[in-house]
């Protein structure tokens, strides 16, 4: 109990002090918030939103994290944004990185019963942070009148490859963050019963992992999964062990020698993690290329696979599942910077899917190669295949299954986005909606949005506000968003009008005639 009260102790001084009004103090229902107190423990990032940075846990290298102790008090609050967890290509990192960046509208006061959105960042489980400018949470917090909490967790080998074989350390980090938040947000005006977890890409995979953990079920009410590559499934213990053995062999340490493991430099570990990432598919093709280091279905913490290869549990939590029109754009057009022939197209499909699946896909006529301006370019076909089976169709299969087991599932596809910074250098993405282009829409961080983008930002923030508060994203004046059924996703277009095209995502094709990776490898 002492550890769980820490969040309360940290934020109470900033938000509960009652003083005389000051120039930009806010009076709500007789409670006055002090500019001085906000300035002491937080940063006023908008005139109506204050940001707090809270350390939620401590962790020794390759050991489970533990929630912070109340005895550490306000020393665990800092005004500056936290260092990211160690990752390649970033100098501002630290192993002491288990922080939550919390955005609190100044209109929220004790007793407000406000909702909380807990955002889990993406980055293939090897990169990213809670301080990424694209997930700056103040605009979303203000628009939804909710608390927005961005969570950091250990990445790469430091989060998933403990030499002694302890798995899912990063998942346990996020559980600690949720535990602290569930105890703390009621003291600052949030409701313990209105916590929604959300994430994009690997962040959405983390959300799915939390949905597969019965012991974490009480920590949140609903979930939002944006662009989760569900085709991969969770790793099996066998695949994890294969990767673990390879990782351990990159060092001279005995796996049980904690002293030796502690003496390794962060750079050595990050380098070894990168080598594992690049070699994973050659070690075991079940890893896939996009998230080879990811949560493990260990049977102890993560007890459900949440795939069609095993008994899917009965569920009740509302979920919101979205993809974007061109998820694979950065991948395909990153690999192939110039047009490719139909022969190269077919070879790539065979190398990716294997002969049996490739034969079915190519014979289906669903993915044809066409010439534009007299030039044959098979990249659009490859992009469509990858988008469908890695993201769109696998997410639709998941949503139909979720609905069949009792849980409300709302499904959507973005056909309008705002170019994510890393997509700016990819010409294809300048006219398409690529992976991550939904993030600036949801968070309202798009740079100079045009009228259509502004309209979509307002729509999605209104829908998120409704979902956070009522478990339903429908808002008066907007297109009706119906829940999925066991046979249909009822997916809508986001940024467009009407239902999303089914195309190859019919139940009889992907997941049936053509198996997903998790089906092929029994994940």
Percent pLDDT > 90 in the chain is: 83
Q: Which residue has the tokens 């999964």?
A: 225
Q: Which residue has the higher pLDDT, 131 or 375?
A: 131
Give SS3 for 249: coil
Nearest Cα to Cα of residue 10 among 32, 40, 47, 49: 40
Handedness of CA 342, 345, 347, 353 (dihedral sign): negative
**Buried b / exposed e across 218-250, counting CB within 10 Å, b at 16+?**
ebbbbbbbbbbbbbbbbbbeebbebbbebbbeb
Last-in-domain residue among 169, 202, 231: 231
Last-in-domain residue among 206, 231, 256: 231
pTM confidence score: 0.93
Q: Is 32 inside any structural domain? A: yes
Q: Domain containing 111: what range?
A: 6-231
Please tell me whether residues 208 and 334 are part of one structural domain: no
Q: Total structural domains in the chain?
A: 2
Residues 6+ apart with CB under 8 A from 166: 62, 63, 64
Per-residue confidence band for 61, with pLDDT thresholds at 50, 70 and 90? very high
Query: Any idea how long the chain is?
Result: 523
pLDDT digits (tens, 9 = 90+) for 408-459: 999 999 999 999 999 999 999 999 999 999 999 999 999 999 999 999 999 9
Angle at 197 between CA 193 and CA 202, to 5 degrees: 165
How far from 339 is each of 22, 37, 367, 433, 458, CA to CA, in Å? 63, 59, 16, 20, 37
Q: Largest Cα–Cα distance in the chain?
A: 75
Please tell me whether residues 179 and 44 are part of one structural domain: yes
pLDDT value, residue 78: 78
Q: Is 213 inside any structural domain? A: yes
pLDDT value, residue 310: 83
pLDDT value, residue 33: 44
Give the pLDDT mean for 105-113: 90
pLDDT value, residue 71: 42
How far from 41 is each of 51, 79, 229, 515, CA to CA, in Å? 9, 6, 38, 52
Q: Are 73 and 94 in contact (CB under 8 A)?
A: no
Give dist(CA 292, CA 165) in Å, integer: 16
In SS3 terms, 154-218 reads as CCHHHHHCCCCCCCCHHHHHHHHHHHHHHHHHHHHCEEEEEEEEEEECHHHHHHHHHHCCHHHHH
Per-residue confidence band for 2, with pLDDT thresholds at 50, 70 and 90? very low
CATH number at residue 98: 3.40.50.1820
Q: Are 319 and 410 in contact (CB under 8 A)?
A: yes
CB atoms within 10 A of CB 425: 11
Kind and range of the H or E run holding 251: none
Give the pLDDT mean for 371-378: 86
Give dist(CA 89, CA 349) in Å, integer: 31
pLDDT value, residue 19: 28
Q: Please state the φ and ψ torsions of residue 304, each to the nearest 5 degrees.
A: -120, 145
Give the pLDDT mean for 32-38: 53
pLDDT at residue 7 above 50? no
Last-in-domain residue among 214, 231, 248: 231
Give dist(CA 425, CA 418) in Å, integer: 14
Give SS3 for 358: helix
Q: Is 352 inside any structural domain? A: no
Please tell me whether residues 194 and 57 are part of one structural domain: yes
Q: Is 504 inside any structural domain? A: yes
């Amino acid at each position: 109990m002492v550890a769980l009260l820490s969040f309360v102790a940290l934020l109470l001084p900033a938000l509960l002090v009652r003083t005389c009004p000051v120039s930009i103090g806010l009076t709500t229902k007789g409670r006055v918030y002090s500019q001085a107190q906000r300035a002491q423990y937080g940063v006023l990032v908008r005139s109506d939103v204050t940001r707090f940075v809270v350390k939620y846990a401590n962790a020794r290298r390759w050991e489970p994290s533990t929630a912070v102790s109340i005895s550490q008090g306000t020393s665990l609050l800092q005004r500056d944004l936290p260092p990211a967890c160690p990752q390649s290509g970033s100098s501002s990192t630290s192993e002491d990185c288990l922080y939550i960046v919390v955005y609190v509208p100044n209109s929220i006061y004790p007793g407000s019963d406000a909702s909380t959105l807990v955002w889990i960042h993406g980055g293939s489980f090897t990169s990213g942070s809670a301080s990424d400018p694209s997930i700056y949470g103040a605009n979303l917090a203000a628009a939804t009148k909710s608390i927005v909490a961005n969570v950091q967790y250990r990445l790469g080998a430091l989060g998933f490859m403990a030499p002694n074989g302890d798995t899912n350390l990063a998942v346990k980090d996020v559980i600690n963050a949720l535990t602290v938040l569930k105890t703390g947000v009621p003291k600052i005006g949030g409701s313990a019963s209105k916590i929604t977890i959300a994430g994009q890409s690997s962040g959405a995979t983390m959300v799915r992992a939390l949905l597969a953990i019965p012991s974490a079920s009480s920590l949140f009410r609903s979930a939002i999964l944006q662009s989760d590559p569900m085709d991969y499934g969770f790793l099996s213990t066998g695949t994890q062990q294969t990767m673990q053995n390879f990782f351990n062999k990159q060092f001279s340490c005995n796996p049980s020698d904690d002293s030796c493991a502690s003496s390794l430099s962060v750079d050595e570990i990050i380098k070894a993690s990168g080598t594992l990432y690049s070699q994973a598919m050659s070690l075991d093709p079940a890893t896939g290329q996009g998230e080879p280091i990811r949560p493990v279905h260990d049977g102890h913490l993560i007890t459900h696979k949440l795939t069609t290869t095993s008994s899917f549990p009965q569920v009740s939590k509302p979920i919101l599942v979205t993809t974007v029109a061109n998820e694979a754009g950065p991948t395909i057009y990153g690999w192939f910077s110039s047009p490719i022939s139909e022969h190269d197209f077919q070879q790539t499909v065979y190398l990716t899917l294997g002969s049996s699946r490739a034969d079915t896909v190519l014979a289906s006529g669903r993915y044809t190669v066409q010439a534009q301006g007299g030039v044959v370019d098979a990249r659009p076909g490859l992009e469509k295949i990858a988008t469908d089976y890695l993201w769109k169709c696998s997410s639709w299969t998941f949503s139909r299954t979720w609905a069949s087991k009792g849980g409300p599932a709302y499904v959507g596809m973005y056909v309008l986005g705002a170019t994510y910074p890393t997509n700016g250098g990819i010409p294809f993405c300048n006219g398409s909606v690529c992976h991550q282009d939904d993030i600036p829409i949801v968070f309202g961080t798009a740079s100079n949005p045009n009228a259509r983008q502004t309209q979509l930002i307002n729509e999605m923030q209104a829908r998120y506000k409704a979902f956070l508060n009522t478990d339903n994203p429908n808002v008066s004046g907007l297109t009706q968003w119906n829940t999925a059924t066991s046979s249909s996703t009822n997916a809508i277009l986001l940024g467009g009008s009407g239902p999303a095209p089914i195309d190859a995502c019919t139940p009889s094709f992907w997941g049936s005639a053509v198996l997903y990776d998790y089906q092929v490898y029994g994940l």
